[in-house]
Every structure is written in C-alpha cells, then in structure tokens.
Amino acid sequence: MGRTDRTGGIGRMAWGVLFSAILLIGPALAAQPPAGQSEFVPVKELPPSEQLPAAPLLIAAYAFFLVLMIVYVWTVWRRLGKVDADLHALEQRMAKR
C-alpha cells in the first residue's frame, strides 16, 4: 500500500516539474528578439507601405471615446430623470396619507 502511494506521488511530482519547466521556459523562448534588421532604420527611409500615419488613428480613438462618454452621460441623465419622477410620485403618495 505504501509503495503504490509513493510511486504515484513521484509520478505526479515528475509531471508537475515537467509542466512547471514548460511554463517557465516557453515565455523565455518566445521572448527572443527577431533576427531581422541589425541596425536602426529611420522612419523616413521606410517604404510608404510600412509607414502607419498616427493622426487618423488618434482622431478616431478620441472620437470613439467622446461618443462613448456622451452616450454614457445621456443614459445616466435618463435614469436619473426616472428616479426623480419616481421620488416625486412617492412624495405625492406620502402627502395623500
């Protein structure tokens, strides 16, 4: 009985060590720098197909965020209006009692 428990424990430990090694070594291997260029290349020397203009993307991001905030404020304003109407109705019911 003791021998089978011990063997199963060692097997589990071996699998655990192997799994831990894979988890630790995997990111280290994936983080190796690419073997592409060996020196700095200024942006002006890149071909136009590889240049990405940032201004349109930045404007689109700010516009999206602005629209999102306007919609959020509008929904909060509507919900507060409903709560205000409910409170007003409750006040009138309480005044009638």
pLDDT in tens, 33-52: 666 667 777 777 777 777 77
48 belongs to a structural domain? no
46 belongs to a structural domain? no
Please give the chain's pLDDT, 97 residues, in tens: 445 455 556 777 788 888 888 887 877 776 666 666 677 777 777 777 777 778 889 999 999 999 999 999 999 999 999 999 999 999 999 998 8
Tell me the pTM: 0.46
User: Tell me, what DSSP letter sits at residue 93?
Assistant: H
User: What's the token pair of residue 39?
Assistant: 């020196």
44 belongs to a structural domain? no
Domains identified in the chain, total number: 2
Same domain, 97 and 60: yes
d(CA 37, CA 55): 27
| DSSP reduced 3-state for 34 | coil
Same domain, 27 and 64: no
Same domain, 62 and 27: no
Q: Name the residue range of residue 82's domain.
A: 53-97
**φ and ψ at residue 24, rounded to 5 degrees:** -85, -35
Alpha helix positions (H), the chain: 2-30, 54-96
